[in-house]
A and B are shown apart, each in its own frame.
Chain A
Amino acid sequence: MNCAESEKRIYLYNELTPQERYETDEHVKTCTSCSLLMQRAIIMRNSIKVHSAHTTPMANHAQMTRRIMDAVETVQRKKTPSSRFFTHSLSWNAFRVSMAVLSFLLVITFLGEYNREAQGQQFTKRYPATPGHKTELDLASFHTAFMAAKEEHNQHGTVLSECVNQCLTPSSPDCRECAHKFVKPFLGKI
């Protein structure tokens, strides 16, 4: 055994196996520096052991007890069933409900926007710009114009032509042109 290993074992002497202790003791017998280190380690160990039996006196035992109990009582008061319900249950439930409502509103808003956009896309698909009418009609403009046209027809006691009615759900390019022609005069009034 070399001195480095011996030094490590000296500091951990109480934690060694009997065999390790024997080997260490044998080395210490023949090594002056390790022997001195062992003596000091023993003195340190024994002194600490003797003194560890001494307890550090507490300033005031009763005062400390009262201080601890007051602190515990304060914590306990904060954790009464009603407050616990509020802090752990009510607030948690309120948080969950508000999150659910928020999520629901977000979904509704998203769906509304999506629907409107889808309708707009559908309309511009159905009624693309035609020659002489450069701007594509958006759904709202077309609807307003169509309602104005319909109103005027009603006032004059005329009935919307079958063609125009069909053009609300057009499938052929002719119908698109027809719808545009029908609505076009009313676009300027919007």
Chain B
Amino acid sequence: MSDPSDQEIVEEVRRGSAQAFRHLVERHQAFVYRLAYRFLGTVGDAEDITQESFIRLWKTLDRYRADAKLTTWLYKIVTNLCLDHLKSWHNRRAKRTIELAGYSGLHSAFTADQELINDEFFAAIERLTDELSPKQKAVFVLRDMEQMTMSEVAEVLSMDARQLKSNLYYARKKVSEMVTLYYETKKAKP
């Protein structure tokens, strides 16, 4: 027997089945956590946001329309919670500082223009995105890290195409410049 669709599970949850909701949690918690982690960068915050996202999903399931994908609905919930979190300057600053000293492999990789397919590079990018504004970070995470389409990102963030492109441009430009600056600094220090 095939797995029930999200829509079928949602109907079960609406009929009061806690077991069905558990099924939804088990199915989607990994991506919810991953997204929250990419936004916030700490395990504790990611876990808190994951929990809060599912509570909000449970509370708002009555408003969920069947014609939309549940994952899009969840993306919206997680993104909004993360944006709220990021907008708090103290939260954003107190918990993380950019410490790229440990990523020694980046220099040679980037200057040699090789494929940067190592975890260190990706971790560095994730940390550098802390320097972006919450909106820019949201666009960057959803489009470039989550590989969502432009229309999906626009829907999740309730943003028009022009705003979206503008934020994406500045986000990519900033990240690229920060990475370049980092390698130039490394190069100058033997």
Q: List residues of A whose CB falls within 8 A of some B CB.
A: 7-8, 11-12, 15, 39-41, 43-52, 54-56, 58-59, 61, 64-65, 67-69, 71-73, 75-76
Say yes or no: A40 contacts B33, CB within 8 Å: no
Q: Name the distance in Å between A67's Cβ and chain B's nearest Cβ.
A: 6
Select one of B25, B113, B114, B125 contacting A69, CB under 8 A. B25
Chain A residues closer than 8 Å to B29, beta-carbon distance: 58, 61, 64-65, 68
Question: How would residues 30 to 51 of chain B score, 1 for a CB under 8 Å from any chain A CB and 0 otherwise?
Answer: 1101100110000100110011
Say yes or no: A72 contacts B115, CB within 8 Å: no
Contact of B121 with A by CB under 8 A? yes
Select one of B21, B26, B31, B43 contacting A59, CB under 8 A. B43
Given contacts A7-B173, A41-B176, A43-B116, 7 further A-B contacts (CB under 8 A): A44-B176, A49-B147, A50-B115, A54-B122, A56-B38, A61-B29, A65-B29
Select one of A47, A59, A73 contacting B115, CB under 8 A. A47
Interface size on B, residues (CB 8 A): 45
Which chain A residue has the least Cβ–Cβ distance from B173? A11
Contact of B172 with A by CB under 8 A? yes
Say yes or no: B165 contacts A15, CB within 8 Å: yes
Which chain B residue has the least Cβ–Cβ distance from A74? B55
* CA of A8 to CA of B172, assembled, Å: 10
List 16 A-B residue pairs with CB atoms under 8 Å apart, sorted by A's residue number: A43-B115, A43-B116, A44-B116, A44-B125, A45-B144, A46-B115, A47-B115, A50-B115, A52-B144, A52-B146, A58-B29, A59-B47, A65-B29, A68-B54, A72-B54, A75-B58
Contact of B180 with A by CB under 8 A? yes
Which chain B residue has the least Cβ–Cβ distance from A60? B47
* CA of A34 to CA of B26, assembled, Å: 47
Say yes or no: A43 contacts B30, CB within 8 Å: no
Q: Name the distance in Å between B13's Cβ and chain A's nearest Cβ.
A: 10
Chain A residues closer than 8 Å to B100, beta-carbon distance: none
* CA of A46 to CA of B122, assembled, Å: 11
Contact of B117 with A by CB under 8 A? yes
* CA of A175 to CA of B55, assembled, Å: 82
Given contacts A51-B117, A58-B33, contact A67 B168 (CB under 8 A): no
